Structure 1
């Protein structure tokens, strides 16, 4: 019976095809170097605000409230600049968007040195620098995502090491510049260093320049699919007459050499064309309709992504994780000084311990993730559990030695949130949707971070307890776990069922 079945079925044929795939290295390492260079001198400005502009704000007659206005504006513009950057990437390229962002950062730092009131500083630091940082974050991730597939987490981690290096070294440089050249001189020299970011962005070549050819063995069915995707103007039907028409009219469809080659390949696989009855419907060209400006904006920003509950779940979860770590970073120095009773020097040691461990985490954890093919969302779930336990223990410590150890553990775990957040978003969409998806993720952060920050600040002022505030920050990560764990378990069960079904089909064949 099985012999009769085999004779009725078409014989499977395996042939070699050449595909263009991302280099997963090569010039991609130069892209990482350029991104890291830009991060050292631009992204690190996020942590330098109080040190660089604190005295200038006091001279303008503003203190904590004025600083909050400028910082909130900068975070708002950075996150809301993400969707704009995503749209420009679709219209141009990541390289152009990164260059615009780097130029905006340099201009903002330069002009901030001439600020005479808080509104000048809000425009220069808040708007120009914030917009530049939003453009750089979006475009650099899109560029790295296009160059790397197998080692994506490792690549993003290496690019983000530049931010960690900048946060470690730049405060010492800023202190030196302020002492020797004053506020205006420090801003001018920092803007000149920011020009290195423009040089780094020039290293972001289009990935099409560096694609590599890979030969793969595919079956007849796979080859049909590849041909259909490559030449959508060829309608594949099971009727042999239409195949002969394609052969007769092939020269009018494109270049002679490539199309005749494809016709030969189609003739080779005629016996199995009956398995693709639905391709005709998918391949038929749809009548072109004129799009209105609303529809064009809808497509440009890929708003259709928001119709997916899973995508919404992911961007809200990543926003919660970023909100939690950002608020802890702002609260931690005050906790060390007012609760643990540390002086500024010991506080600086704890902050340096976090930054150093963060760099180590960005180098080590992505390698571990790529080696064992762990999804970014699982890494964020494991990281959230790590941060909850670490911070809750840290909240009750006062000894300097223990605080240094807990700072290192916290910084090591925090690094994965920075690395995996955009990867988790990109895993839920197609390659061409990545710029818009990352932009929508940043937009969600812009909507969640400010009110959540005010809420956590209110908890601290109302209770008068740093421990309660840290616990509230951990609750944001608990909400992330509640949102993500059921969905990830459902995906895991579905994947196991699919593997079991494929194994049964293989046994039957």
Structure 2
């Protein structure tokens, strides 16, 4: 009892102010800005064939030429992610988002003056691709800094902009092409893309909007007094450093140098620390290593996460590519019926982005677990869908697929951010995009080869599901191991608490 009383006597509780993300407030304006940028910029990904198809044909290029331009754009988008992460660390998320929006506007506008495929590669492929990479990275980093508990909901609402753009923009593009021609359509779409720049202006530094919260902090007076007592301690001259007695370092004494806790500190004549402490010069490779946070790749869990998310995105992208062909050639649907099924996917995708994040936030489900559950959902839905030919059944299955697909888009970057520090998020998202750029092209080519070699769309869909199963085999054991480690840590903390 006396021991417990003495312990209580030596401790006291202080109220301290802690700054936390607002989880709302101006954060919703940031979400609105990201959604605006997605409506007029990210939606251009699905507009390529509609907008540039006739222009490429006039230049003398067919599907192969379109694939070159589109592949260039996707390559630059993914490889622009790490560059965006570095610029975010050096400047701000608003600057990178604005730079990306300006690059998108310039790319769309200048593409209207293209007279050969190389012009399209430089404008649509490079400028638009780089802009989209910058926007994807910076907008997520901005939202991530404003939200903690409602992060999934905020990311879902921002991504709804992409769904709205993919639903409305085809009709806008068709109208502009019919009334103003290819060049006029590109110029007007470039003007619409300027709304994305307006959206980026809504991004403000989160420090301006942080909430102040009072929290109780237990202070141990004995530890506090001990720290104060030894705050300016100087090591005795009889001690040795590197095998030599400290009292021989007469030159260091004269220059006011002392050793504290094994670290060399410089003092001026007044006893204050010298602000011009010489720092060892870093090599260029060391600076690059630090800027890109390459140390993240030394973690097997982080590698597992970014490879897994790349596999899921590859699977859904490849399915989106072959889905219209499956509907027309296997289910024998006309263009109108095919468009109806694709619209069902898009509408269900929007509904999913609005509802699934709310469920995730309410029940506090980790993004990685949501990805695992929705991947199982997609495997079942797509495998059943592959054997259907009835229009009503396909419409229903399309809705189920779109609903599940939405969570892959929302949760992939959140799952990456959950496993790194806040200051590492820009680089972590960039590295995730980099691995996506490395994995998507060869895997997509392999899935296309399966379709051509077997002549079966069902075999191709099964191969896409096999990718998701590989993702599950990678993530489920790691999730179980992580859970066991957390329980072991909690048990150890409880034992230490009981002993104290």
Q: Do they fold alike, i.e. is TM over 0.5? A: yes
Aligned to 1:112: 111
Give the Å deviation of 1:210. Answer: 1.3
Aligned to 1:204: 203
Aligned to 1:55: 54
- Runs of 5+ consecutive residues of structure 2 not aligned to the other structure: 235-259, 267-276
2:453 to 459, 462, 474: 462
CA deviations over 1:141-169 (Å, ceiling 9, x no partner): 00001111111111100110000100111
Aligned to 2:316: 325
Give the Å deviation of 1:56. Answer: 1.0
| Matched position secondary structure for 1:111 | helix
Does residue 233 of structure 2 align to residue 242 of structure 1? no
Aligned to 1:412: 403
Aligned to 2:384: 393
Aligned to 1:172: 171
Aligned to 2:244: none
CA deviations over 1:450-501 (Å, ceiling 9, x no partner): 1111111111111000000000011111110011111100111122222333
Does residue 438 of structure 2 align to residue 447 of structure 1? yes
| Matched position secondary structure for 1:65 | helix
2:350 to 353, 359, 374: 359
Rate the CA distance shift 1:186–1:500 in 2: closer, same or farther, 3 A. same
1:337 to 310, 323, 328: 328
| Matched position secondary structure for 1:48 | helix
| Matched position secondary structure for 1:219 | strand
Aligned to 1:156: 155
Give the Å deviation of 1:10. Answer: 5.5
Q: How many residues align?
A: 465
Moved more, 365-374 or 325-334: 365-374
Rate the CA distance shift 1:179–1:303 in 2: closer, same or farther, 3 A. same
Rate the CA distance shift 1:178–1:283 in 2: closer, same or farther, 3 A. farther
| Matched position secondary structure for 2:17 | strand
Rate the CA distance shift 1:316–1:244 in 2: closer, same or farther, 3 A. closer
Rate the CA distance shift 1:240–1:37 in 2: closer, same or farther, 3 A. closer
Rate the CA distance shift 1:32–1:385 in 2: closer, same or farther, 3 A. same
For normalisation by structure 2, the TM-score amounts to 0.89
Contact 2:10 2:220 in 1 (8 A): no
| Matched position secondary structure for 1:238 | helix
Structure-2 separation of matches of 1:180 and 1:282: 73
Give the Å deviation of 1:329. Answer: 0.5
Aligned to 2:40: 41
Q: How does 1:11-160 map to 2 (within 5 A)?
A: 11-160=10-159
Rate the CA distance shift 1:240–1:48 in 2: closer, same or farther, 3 A. closer
Q: How does 1:292-311 map to 2 (within 5 A)?
A: 292-311=283-302
Aligned to 1:268: none
Contact 1:395 1:467 in 2 (8 A): yes
Contact 1:108 1:125 in 2 (8 A): yes
Give the Å deviation of 1:220. Answer: 1.4
Rate the CA distance shift 1:308–1:100 in 2: closer, same or farther, 3 A. same
Give the Å deviation of 1:4. Answer: 3.6
Rate the CA distance shift 1:400–1:97 in 2: closer, same or farther, 3 A. same
| Matched position secondary structure for 1:288 | coil
Contact 1:75 1:130 in 2 (8 A): yes
Give the Å deviation of 1:284. Answer: 8.7
| Matched position secondary structure for 1:220 | strand
Rate the CA distance shift 1:216–1:9 in 2: closer, same or farther, 3 A. closer
Give the Å deviation of 1:393. Answer: 0.4
| Matched position secondary structure for 1:190 | helix
Give the Å deviation of 1:238. Answer: 2.7
Structure-2 separation of matches of 1:492 and 1:22: 27
Aligned to 1:489: 480
Structure-2 separation of matches of 1:463 and 1:108: 39
For normalisation by structure 1, the TM-score amounts to 0.87
Rate the CA distance shift 1:14–1:466 in 2: closer, same or farther, 3 A. same
Does residue 432 of structure 2 align to residue 438 of structure 1? no
- Runs of 5+ consecutive residues of structure 1 not aligned to the other structure: 225-235, 247-278
CA deviations over 1:249-272 (Å, ceiling 9, x no partner): xxxxxxxxxxxxxxxxxxxxxxxx
Rate the CA distance shift 1:283–1:23 in 2: closer, same or farther, 3 A. farther
